[in-house]
Structure 1
Amino acid sequence: MNLRYKINTAIFLAATFGYGIISLIHAYADNGSVSSLEQRALGELPSFSLGSLATGAFIQDFEQYFNDHLPLRTSMAKTGALIMTWKGLPDEEAILVQQGGDNTALRLTGDNDMEQLVQESQDTQYLIYKEQAYTLFKYSNAAAELYAETLNRFRSEVDSAARVYSMLVPTSSEFIDHDHYSQLSDSQKEALGHINELLSSGIQQIDAYSALDQHKEEDIYFRTDHHWTALGAYYAYSEFMKTVGEEAVPLSTFAQGEIDDFLGSSYKATLSYKLKSHPDVITYYQPADSYSYTRYYTNGKKVEGKVVDPSYAKEDIGLYSVFLGGDFPWGEIHTGQDNGKSIVVIKDSYANAFIPYLIPHFESIYYIDPRFYKGSLTAFIEVHHATDVLFLNNSTVARTKGIAELIDQLL
């Protein structure tokens, strides 16, 4: 064995074991709990027990914790995305990115079996086409039916005098402008239609789908994020007001502003350089009417602010936080209206861009996010004397049972 070989071997082993030791030290010392790049909670150091060791749960949880707290993890993820550009993948017309712990990308061609590509994976999949990311939709009949059952149960348990509405919002993948690639997603129109068929007659349906479909050529969804834009939310708001028999306030009456260089959740999930090279612009509309807004944290802390404020748009929590300041267990808005109308919006984050438009129409506006709220929905409705209740959720409710189960636990 020559000297050069020994030296190379020694350097390789030193680098490998050195990085491993540094990683272990960093993993134990690092107390970061959230990845600002991925906008998700990082794995926590698991508690050791003989039982968890015997079942393998401890090893699995520790592996997740270790992977989440590697030194330079964020930099390495970005470098990996850059290497994909050297392989030529982002130069293809479209690619399919699968998010299941590790990102993988597949070139899409006319020879792909689109149905098989979706059926073979249970992970979240993104289609990146024409510098836009689409979160693919896979229908679950069980999830759709559970959501309808949960809303019907709510309707039966609240005061019959309260008006209850359901707004189901399609995501951008419903409007993929390519016959071949659109086959990657199940029909959201049919999925949402099935939920509507099962809803009680005591729940009035808001046809956000048709409102968005009529404007699908406009910028109603972000290209690098899974949310709709404030413009898309405005069209849904207009449909809501038409359904309740009121006129929507013209968009021109709101003060308009813009936030440049928005790279949203879809970019952070895929780290696609196609998306990075074409960031979004967030256009926001601030209501002219007077109001007070208070949002409540999980620890009970309350903070007053504005419903639309560009100062909320920070990288660590996401620029979409310009609307309502982000996601909170609940919040309340009191306006200058004197009409005795009070609405509670039970919502996901799509409603954040929607709720500010309600200020000219209600005396009080409350929102509840079932992902964080711990109280009773029916008690909340009663205590706050709600005249109206709006369930506003995107089509995820017809894909997974999560939101329905959370709402059910609050009844």
Structure 2
Amino acid sequence: MEKKEQTQKQSEHTVGKRRGSRFLQRTMAFGFCGAVLLLVLISLIMPDRSFSEEENRVLSKQPKFGVTEVMNKEYMEGLESYTSDQFIFRDLWIKLKVQCDLLTGKRELNGVYLGKDKYLMQAISEPDQEHVKENIKGMNAFAARHQDLNINAMIVPNAAYVMQDYLPKGAPVRDQGKDMKEIQKQLDAGIGCIDVTKTLQKHVEEGMYYKTDHHWTSRAAAYAFNAAAVQLGIEGASGDYQRYTVTNEFSGTLSSKSGYHKAEDTIEVFEPEGVDVKYLVSDSDNQEQRPTAYDKKALKEKDKYQVFFGGNHAQVDITTTNDTTKRLLIFKDSYANCFVPFLIPYYNEIIMVDPRYYYDNVETLISGKHITDVLFLYNMDTFLTDTSIAGALAEE
């Protein structure tokens, strides 16, 4: 009898525990759903943000609703992007995710490798071979039309290739050395190729790339200029520079993209010693001439790399007091921005064109400005994926 009562009590106790457990589970489930719903409601009530300082990018806006947009899935895709970008406390969730990833040993964060000494290096993209062929074809056709010009191409390898010893163990990296050889093979003899890979590798421990950004540093650009000067036709180039630190608080695009913010960079500007050449700069976004290549206002902004020429513009014009007849046209991406200041003293005029934003006629520009030299200056990743070079070079 006693045994029967004891068994009954144990059974009742077990049932009670199960009921309590189910109640707790339901409570937690309802609580979680309620919290998510509350966050969603707050996200809808809060005003939308147009820009994320943390990620350094423009955030999605509420998509336009319409039958056409719904039918072609444009609305749903836009809505998904919008709700993700405007979700309340988004920056906090990103930081928490990064910390969780790091705790689990993950060293690839949103396409960015976290390497030795807190170096962030962008995973190198696979090239679109058709676009590469079109760009090189366009460059060769351009060179054939302008055999009287001194034309060179400097394609700069990216950090993940130059700094392979800094990558996380087992991180895959594209062989940009092979890419360089293939480009050199396809370019006609009328275009000189300047390969600064070995120069950058030799000085890699001096900081050839920023830790938090995808660009090379001014120091790397200085070494590259010294290595390239002779082929560019520059005689008596000054190899001595005064270095000035303009900020120690640069957190670049790779920090923003990865969500990893435990390093900051120093940006330097270099002034050649023994060179007395004055110059004026204007660009397609600001026609007012100014006597400097540097935009101090950018040092108060998130993207401090824009201190060089105020960022990218369709066209930048630089006129100098050098009475030489040499006039240089540069087709470029943002890697050129910290390199061009080294070129300024040695030309009468320099025109920078960014094909991503330039829609005027290049042939008219060349004849109107009496161009004598041309330089294609890109980082390898952009050169292999860019779709605008061939279009800008097309003869109209």
TM-score (norm 2): 0.83
How many residues are aligned here?
370
Q: Decide whether aligned partners of structure 1 residues 409 and 129 sit closer, same or farther in structure 2, where only a CA change above 3 A counts.
A: farther
Question: Are the aligned partners of 1:230 and 1:285 in contact in 2 as well (CA < 8 Å)?
Answer: yes
The structure with the larger Rg is: 2
Who is 1:60 aligned against? 77
CA separation in 1, counterparts of 2:36 and 2:147?
A: 67
Question: Are the aligned partners of 2:139 and 2:390 in contact in 1 as well (CA < 8 Å)?
Answer: no
1:272-292 residue CA offsets vs partner (Å, 9 max, x unmatched)? 2xxx33322222214663111
Equivalences for residues 114-193 of structure 1 within 5 A: 124-140=111-127, 141-157=129-145, 159-175=146-162, 176-177=164-165, 181=169, 184-193=172-181
Equivalences for residues 44-59 of structure 1 within 5 A: 44-59=61-76
Who is 2:380 aligned against? 395
Question: Are the aligned partners of 1:342 and 1:388 in contact in 2 as well (CA < 8 Å)?
Answer: yes
Question: Are the aligned partners of 1:224 and 1:280 in contact in 2 as well (CA < 8 Å)?
Answer: yes
Question: Are the aligned partners of 1:168 and 1:393 in contact in 2 as well (CA < 8 Å)?
Answer: yes
2:293 to 307, 310, 317: 307
Deviation at 1:190, TM superposition (A): 0.9
Deviation at 1:402, TM superposition (A): 3.0
Tell me the amino acid that sits aligned with residue 20 of structure 1: V
Asked if 1:363 is matched to 2:348, the reply is yes
1:46-91 residue CA offsets vs partner (Å, 9 max, x unmatched)? 3333122112121111211222222332233233324445x2537x
Q: Decide whether aligned partners of structure 1 residues 6 and 238 sit closer, same or farther in structure 2, where only a CA change above 3 A counts.
A: closer
CA separation in 1, counterparts of 2:268 and 2:361?
A: 35
CA separation in 2, counterparts of 1:43 and 1:285?
A: 38
Please provide the CA RMSD for this pair.
Answer: 3.0
1:218-273 residue CA offsets vs partner (Å, 9 max, x unmatched)? 2111121111100111122122211134346435344522411222111111122x
CA separation in 1, counterparts of 2:27 and 2:395?
A: 64
* Structure 2 SS opposite 1:152: helix
Question: Are the aligned partners of 1:289 and 1:360 in contact in 2 as well (CA < 8 Å)?
Answer: yes
Structure 1 residue runs of 5 or longer lacking an equivalent are 100-123
Equivalences for residues 3-402 of structure 1 within 5 A: 14-26=34-46, 29-30=47-48, 32=50, 34-85=51-102, 87=103, 89=105, 95-97=107-109, 99=110, 124-140=111-127, 141-157=129-145, 159-175=146-162, 176-177=164-165, 181=169, 184-247=172-235, 249-272=237-260, 276-286=261-271, 289-297=277-285, 301-305=286-290, 306-316=292-302, 318-397=303-382, 399-402=384-387
CA separation in 2, counterparts of 1:410 and 1:47?
A: 39
CA separation in 1, counterparts of 2:204 and 2:176?
A: 14
CA separation in 2, counterparts of 1:404 and 1:8?
A: 57
Tell me the amino acid that sits aligned with residue 19 of structure 1: L
1:357-401 residue CA offsets vs partner (Å, 9 max, x unmatched)? 111100111111122222222222222221111110011145424
Question: Are the aligned partners of 1:154 and 1:378 in contact in 2 as well (CA < 8 Å)?
Answer: no
Bigger mean CA offset, 148-157 vs 244-253? 244-253
TM-score (norm 1): 0.80
Question: Are the aligned partners of 2:122 and 2:214 in contact in 1 as well (CA < 8 Å)?
Answer: yes
CA separation in 1, counterparts of 2:166 and 2:55?
A: 28
Deviation at 1:185, TM superposition (A): 0.9
Bigger mean CA offset, 221-230 vs 394-403? 394-403
CA separation in 1, counterparts of 2:86 and 2:24?
A: 35
Tell me the amino acid that sits aligned with residue 24 of structure 1: L
CA separation in 2, counterparts of 1:267 and 1:180?
A: 17
CA separation in 1, counterparts of 2:155 and 2:288?
A: 29
